[in-house]
Chain A
Amino acid sequence: MAAEITAPPYRVIPIIPSIKPGAMEGLKPFVASDKIQEALGFPGELVEDWEERAIAKMGELLKKYRSLKVYLDACVHCGACSDKCHYFIGTQDPKNMPVARQDLLRSVYRRYFTIPGKLFPKLVGARDLTREVLDEWYSYYHQCSECRRCSVFCPYGIDTAEVTMAAREILDSVGYGQKYANEIIGKVHKIGNNLGLPGPALTDTLEGLEEDVKEDTGIDIRFPLDVKGAEVLLITPSADFFAEPHIDSLVGYAKVFHAAGISWTLSSKASEGGNFGLFIGSYDQLRQIALRIREAALELGVKRIVVGECGHAWRVAYSFWNTLTGIGDGADPNDRFAIQLQKQLDQRYKQPSHICEVTWDLIQKQAITLDPEANDHYVVTFHDSCNVARASRMGDMPGGQFEIPRNIIRAAANKFVDMNEATIMEKTFCCGGGGGLLTDDLMDLRVKGALPRMEALKEVVEKDGVNFMAAICAICKTQFTKVLPYYGFNMRMIGGVHQLVSNAIRLGDK
C-alpha cells in the first residue's frame, strides 16, 4: 500500500508591514531641564551655536570610535534590516527601518565629512544639519531601543545601536537631552540608584522583606546590606527592591544564597545594576556609574561580584567592567584600584558572574535542590532579553546565555515551551521598552513596539497554554507588566527566572 499522502503543515508566513510615512513623526519624549542637564555636565538648553558644536562633536566621535566611521561608511542600503525592527513592525513608519533611521545621521555625516558630500551633496544624499534635522534626530533616535536585532541580519554587521548612541551623545552635547534617562543618571550620582531610593528606605524595605519571607517559609532568610567581609556582592537593578514582579526574583536570589550557604551582601552605595550611561552613549557616564561598584567592592572586601536580573547591566558588566573598573581581566596596569580589586577577587570564579550562572552551577553540583512541582500551575516560556542575548554570554560555551536560563527554568518547572524560533535567542525581539525608552511619555511607541513579541506569545498561549513568561531584565518585566493588558493578557503573566526558583527551591531540610 502506498504511503499516505499528506500536505506539509502550513508555514507561518512572515508579514512585512506596509508603510505609513510619517506615522510617528514629531514623537518627542520630554526634553531634560537645565537642572537635569547641568548635573551631568551637559549644557542646560540648546546652545546658540548648536550646528557648529554638533558637527564638531560628530568629528570627535568619528576619531574616537573607528567603529562609528565604519558603520557610517559601510552600509549599502541592501534593506536586510528594514523589516527586522520591532518599532518599524509596530509603527509602520519607514523612518523606523533601521537603515532609514541610521541615514538620518549618515546623510549629515556625508555632507560634512566626505568629499562627494561636500562637493555634490544632492547626488549622494547628503544633508545640511538644520533645526528640522536636529529635531528629527531627537525624535527617531528615541524610537530605537538599541536592541541590535537588525545587526544580526546585517551582512556587514553594522551595529545600529552605536549609531543611535552617537546621535544621543551629540544631542546631549548641544543641550538637547532626554529627561527620562538623564534624570535617572543624576539620581544614581546623587543617591546611588536609578530610583532615588535612599539608604534608610532600602534598609526598611529589606527588613520588611525578611519578615515577609519568614512568614511565608518559616525560615530566616537574610537580605544583608553593607556587610563587610561577605563573599558575594550582589549588584542588581533597584527595581528589584521596589517593583512587582521584580521583587520576587530578589527573594529568589536570597533563597539561593541561603540554601547554598554563601555569605552575600547588597551595597547602599552601589544599589543599582543598571547603567544608563550606555543608553545615552556616554563613555564618561558609563565609567563613572561603573566605578561606584568598584568602590563598594573594595570597601566591603568581597571576593565575588554577582549581577542580578538586569539585561543591560549584564552587558556592561560582561563586556565593559574589566577595562572600566578592573572587575575581570584586562584592567589598565596603571590603574591602582583596578589592580587592587583584581587581587582581591577570587579568580577561581568568573568575575563578574551572572546570578543565573551561580544558580545553574549550584544546581549541577547539587548544592541546591529544586522541586519543579511547585510551579506546576505554570506553563512557562522564556523571553530572551536583548542585551543578554546579543551582547554577552554566560557559562563556558557559545550560546550559554540562551541555555543557562532555560536550564534553570526546566529545573524549576515541569512545563516549558519556547516561542517561535524566529523570535528567540539571538533573534529575540526587544520588549519594546529598552534603551532608555521605558517612560510614560513614550507609551504609544512602547505598546506598538511590543507587537512582535506579543504575537509570538499569543501563539504559544493558544497552542501550549502558556501562562507565564519569564525574563531576566528589570526593563522587560516593567514593560510587559504595562503592555500585556493592551494585548488582552494578564499583567501578572510576566515574571523573573528567579521567581520560579524562589517557588521551587528546597530550604532548610535538603
Chain B
Amino acid sequence: MAILARPDGTPDWRRRTPRADLLVWGGWFAGVALCVYCFSFISDRTIWPFVWDAPRQGGDLIARMFPPRWSYASQLWKPLWDTINIATIGTALAVLIGVPLAFLAAHNTTPSRLFVRPVVLFIIVASRSINSLIWALILVIILGPGMLAGIMAIALRSVGFIAKLLYEAIEEIDTTQVEAVTATGASRPQVLGWAIVPQIMPAFAGLTVFRWDINIREATVLGLVGAGGIGMQMQASINVLAWPQVTTIFVLILGTVVVSEWLSARVRHAVI
C-alpha cells in the first residue's frame, strides 16, 4: 500500500508505488513477449495448411475410430495383464532399491553427510530426470524388446521418486521419539526399527501405492518403444491405421487407470 500526495495535498491511496507498478507491468510485458517469440518459433516449424485441416482430420479420425472393434479385446487381456505386472514388479523392485537409498540420503540417518549423501542425491536426481520411456528406449537396446526392459525402466524411474519422497519423510520425523528410544540404551539398528520406521510407515505405504498408480499409466505406453505391455498392441494397430482397434485399447486403458486410481485412493485414505 502506498500513499502519494496529490498536488492539492490530499492523500492518494494506491495499491503499489509507481515504481512497483512499472515493475509488475514490465514483468507481464516480458512474459507475454517471451511467449509470443516462442510461439513464432513453433509456428515457423509448423505446416499451417495441415493445421487448418485439423477439424476435418479430427472428424475423420473420430469417424474411423468408432465403433470400437470389441472383438479385438479378446487378444488384449494377456498384454493388459503384462502391463499390470510390469507396473507392479517394477514398483516392487523400485521399493527394494529405493528404501536403502532413502536412508542413505536422509541427513539424519545417512552414514556420511560428506561422501555418501551427495552421491545418493545425484543417483536420485538422475533417476528422476529421465522419463521412463527414455529408460525403456535405452533398455530395449541393451536387453532386447520385451517385458524385462519395461520392468527395469519402470523400476529405474521409480527409484528416484520413492527415495526422494521417503527421505523427505525421514527428515521430517519427530525427533523426541528417537531421543526416547536412544535413552533406553538402544543400538542404532534398534533406533531405526523402533523410532524411525514406525513413523514413516504410513508415508511409505501411501507413496508406494501412489507410485504404483502412476506406473500403471506409464506402463500402458512403454510398448511404444518395444518394452512390452498393451502399448505394443497400440503401436501395431496405429502402424496399420486400425483405428477401431486403437479405440478398444484406449477404452481398456481408461478402465484400468480408473480402477487403479480408485484403488490407490482407497489405500492411501486407509493408511494416512
Report whether chain A binds chain B: no
Q: Which residues of A contact B (CB under 8 A)?
A: none
Q: Which residues of B contact A (CB under 8 A)?
A: none
